[in-house]
Chains A and B, each alone.
Chain A
Amino acid sequence: MKAYPEQVPLPSADKRWKLVEATMRRHGHNAAALIEVLHTVQESFGYLDSESLRFVASSLRLPLSEVYGVATYYHFFNLKPAGEHTCVVCMGTGCYVKGAGNLMKAIEEIAHVTAGETTPDGKVSVVAARCIGSCSLAPAAVFDGEVVPKADSEMVKAQMRRWMEL
């Protein structure tokens, strides 16, 4: 009887793989930890590429198709690298009623990208969130992790200009 599954070699010397390995070890390389592990990968690398999906699949003894299936099923996981900066516009009901649609329009006007896309220069990723729970301060945006309460089109445009160095 083998108490622990054989360890799959890390894809490279990149230290971030050790974080991923640590999460798997904490869960005893149990397949039920798949989502937790994918969270760690995304936190460490910013997105899930095919190399990391393969590594996770073989380490957790799961078919690659299943890992890919989970990675693509959930909105939170990105399979493409994100831009240098992230601009999240909350599109929850509270924000929508308060004009979140106009914020998105302002971004489209200035950057010519829409929700789910990254500007061609790789500077800014634009994300539409389902609801970030800041409904009482609607409409809300998130600039690089910082919540911006009661955002308006001018604020969003100005921030986009700064990021894109326009």
Chain B
Amino acid sequence: MTLDELLEIRTHEQEELKKFDHKVNVSVAAGCLSLHSDQVLKVLQDEVKKQGKEGRCKVTGVGCMGLCAMGPLVRCEPQHTYYRSVPHDKPEILEAIIANLDGNPVPEFAVSPDIPFFAEQQKIVLEHCGEIDPERIEDSIAVGGYEALLTCVSQRTRDDVVQEMIKSGLRGRGGGGYPTGLKWSMVAKASGEQKYVICNADEGDPGAFMDRSVLESDPHRVLEGMAIAGYAVGASKGYIYCRAEYPLAVKRLKIAIRQAEKMGLLGKNIGESAFGFEIEVRLGAGAFVCGEETALIASVEGKRGVPRPRPPFPAYSGLNKCPTLLNNVETFANVAPILRKGAAWFAAIGTEKSKGTKVFALVGDVNNTGLLEVPMGITLRDLVYKLGGGIPGGKQFKAVQTGGPSGGCIPEQFLDMQVDYESLARAGSIMGSGGMIVMDETACMVDVAKFFMDFTRDESCGKCIPCRVGTTQLYGLLNRISEGEGRMEDLDTLERLGGMVNRTALCGLGQTAPNPVRSTLRYFREEYETHIREKRCPQGKCPVSNPAAAKQGK
């Protein structure tokens, strides 16, 4: 397919859509699906027929709209009215939604699109999530999908594409924050007949589901980003390494790949150029360390996902010892818009060193749990209180945990801090992939630190001693403190040992594993001291507050 043919399909699709006065979108992403939104979709479609509005109203199953706390979500166009918590088992409500398309929305369930959660977002990655049918490539094309890819292969040189990415200032969204354009230029310059592009969709951080939502809601955007990357670095083969725990994402990816191949947007001679690129999905099998690039590559090769020392970096020697470009889902999802609208447009968003937007999964003790995309540089206070709607039950904010098991807990005094890579690092945490877990006053920081150490201890691959033994020892110390058996000198040991693991572990998992302990020690030391000195847990979460349970042993 050529660019002209693509644009023809787009125009045709847009014309088709214009024939409808109303568009009703029902979220069928995993969150809303678990609240039976598939039945809501079906009943609404039947209702349109019953009321004889088939020619005027189109009901579509779409991806994630973000406000998961209020699922299942329905959105009516052109008014942009949202309906929250739409009950699948109350036909009279569903009937009223369709009946009132022209009039006033059904009051009990309507949510204004002007609430801060929706109005304060700036969407690049998620721009079409919740608006298009993820299982229909024409929907994606209608909103500009694959235009950037075909423009690149027909009108731009490879170096030109790499330069555009460098100028955009985009940094890796998987957590590290390495400049994406620089990575691309390294792989582009590396010598080798065969090169690979890999998309890291092994979203292992507990409490994070950004990549899952993108893959479930707009898979074509990720495929397009990967194909553009393939063109820019000279690769002909791509892999998406996706968690097996995300069956819906895997299914939709496979459908998307088949559709793109059929239309000649993947495969040989893309856009009737000499460039060919194919993509395969590889399933992960539940190992957190496979989010680390060298471990991920080993896993794609069918081996145990164990990291190896770098250099050589994957850019020079990665999959099958060939130059390999590895980026995260969200990074690839940023590529097409950057090339469509230009690097300058992208670089104008965000802060000086962190450009663009970031998708966060806001969860825990916060009212509006869900997925949102905001410009870099927004304050934590805005995220938690304005968009997040504050803490439920009138409780006090205590901390927000970012970066998963590699990150830290940020206390109240940093609420006015701007969120970008550097400030989060200064506060003792990391940007990570975008999980943001809000904790209220009832959370015990010793318990939280213990939770994460239990996680990394279990997920340590065992290759290097600092991580294998260090995480176990750190966990043992925390466990002792939580049981009321701790000693004051344990706190120094935690700090020293944590520092040692940080400096000497082989890979990112080990190096960052002590972060949750170190950050909680830094900001909540008095809580540790209470556990040790007074042998009690102020929040009543640890076994020391419940001696009977402690004795039973867990």
Taking Cβ atoms with an 8 Å cutoff, the residues of A that contact B are 30-36, 38-39, 66, 69-70, 73-77, 91-94, 96-98, 129-138, 140, 146-149
Contact = CB atoms under 8 A, between A and B. Distances in A.
A36 B371 contact: no
A41 to B, nearest CB: 12
Contact of B31 (A31, A33, A75, A134): A134
A139 B305 CA distance: 29
Contact of B34 (A91, A129, A130, A146): A146
A35 B283 contact: yes
B86 interface: no
A30 B288 CA distance: 25
B31 A130 contact: no
Nearest to B370: A136
B302 A130 contact: no
Given A75-B286, A76-B286, A94 B34 contact: no
Contact of B283 (A39, A137, A138, A149): A39
B170 interface: no
A67 B448 CA distance: 36
A97 B445 CA distance: 11
A94 to B, nearest CB: 4
B526 to A, nearest CB: 21
B365 interface: yes
A57 B304 CA distance: 15
Contacts of B286: 74-76, 130
Contacts of B209: 131, 133-136
B401 interface: yes
B228 to A, nearest CB: 26
Contact of A70 (B246, B304, B439): B304
Contact of A74 (B287, B364, B369): B287
Given A97-B443, A136-B362, 5 more contacts: A74-B287, A94-B369, A131-B245, A135-B208, A136-B363
A96 B286 CA distance: 19
A96 B451 contact: yes
A39 B71 contact: no
Interface string B287-317: 1100000000001111111000000000000
12 contacts: A66-B303, A75-B286, A77-B285, A93-B401, A93-B404, A93-B435, A94-B435, A98-B364, A130-B286, A132-B245, A133-B208, A138-B364
A34 B302 contact: yes
Interface in B45-84: 68-69, 71
Nearest to B300: A32
A70 B206 contact: no
A98 B209 CA distance: 17
A31 B369 CA distance: 43
B287 A73 contact: yes
Interface string B456-468: 0000010000000
Contacts of A38: 285
B30 interface: yes
B302 A147 contact: no
B35 interface: yes
Contacts of B300: 32
Contact of B437 (A76, A93, A129, A147): A93
A135 B285 contact: no
B205 interface: yes
B304 A76 contact: no
Contacts of A132: 245
A102 B461 CA distance: 29
B207 interface: yes
A134 B369 CA distance: 10
Given A91-B206, A130-B204, A149-B34, A137 B71 contact: yes
Given A70-B302, A73-B287, A130-B206, A94 B30 contact: no
Nearest to A91: B206
A92 B435 CA distance: 11
B363 A94 contact: yes
Contacts of A97: 363-365, 437, 439, 443, 448
B423 to A, nearest CB: 22
Contacts of B31: 134, 136-137, 149
A131 B205 contact: yes
B282 interface: yes
B194 to A, nearest CB: 14
B65 to A, nearest CB: 12
A129 B364 contact: no
B218 interface: no
Contacts of B365: 97-98
A94 B365 CA distance: 9
A138 B443 CA distance: 15
Contacts of B404: 93
Contacts of A136: 31, 68-69, 209, 361-363, 369-371
Chain A to chain B: the 3 pairs with minimum beta-carbon distance, closest first: A92-B206, A136-B68, A74-B285
A35 B207 CA distance: 26
Contact of B206 (A76, A93, A147): A93
Interface in B174-215: 203-209, 212
A138 B206 contact: no
A29 B527 CA distance: 56
B244 interface: yes
B288 A35 contact: no
Contacts of A70: 302-304
